[in-house]
Amino acid sequence: MIVGYVRVSSIEQNEARQLVTMEKYNVEKLFKEKISAKDVNRPALKNLLEYVREGDVVVVHDFSRLARSTKDLLNIVEQLQDKDVNLISSKENIDSSKPVGKLMMTMIGAINEFERTNLLERQMEGIIIAKQKGKYKGSKKIVIENFEEYYNKYMRRELNKGQMAEELNISRPTLNRIIKEYKVGAKAEL
């Protein structure tokens, strides 16, 4: 499915130029909002990120519609990549399904991975210190017996991630980890 995202910062601003881009790419489902991109706490953006599935394409007029900060853009791109969703930015002429677009997304991903590695390194240092002080015990692995049933409902858009996490009584980050592990396991079985 081709999904579009249109955002302007205020009610006075016009979204016509972005809507032309959506028509150009034959967008089938559109998420629109009039809100600042100072952070990623935007209802339509959150709904889009929950809605898209593997194989979908997200179209934006330009990257500034998705995010104003590099960090936020990197996080959004990573979420889309984790779901195997392609991204097209018309103004920057980037299509992550094409070689140059893949290269650009890889570079964005590499920067994000570098940032994440540094964060995890600092986190591990903190855990080691906490363990030495007897303040860290770790967490138990969560196993969901009939996860394939929930995953299939999610892929058919019968459930979104928020609903699935609530039904399974787990957090969204835990659900994301379980989905990632499930997909790796499913690919290994092929």
Active site positions, annotated: 9
| DSSP 8-state class, residue 116 | H
In degrees rounded to 5, what are phi and psi of residue 68?
-95, -30
Q: Where are the alpha helices (DSSP H) in 5-160?
A: 16-24, 43-51, 63-66, 70-82, 99-132, 147-155
Contact, 4 vs 60, CB < 8 A? yes
In degrees rounded to 5, what are phi and psi of residue 3?
-115, 135
Token couple for 83: 């779901």
Q: Which residue has the tokens 């855990």?
A: 127
- The sign of the dihedral angle between the CA atoms of 163, 167, 170, 175 is negative
Contact, 29 vs 3, CB < 8 A? yes
H or E element at residue 146:
none
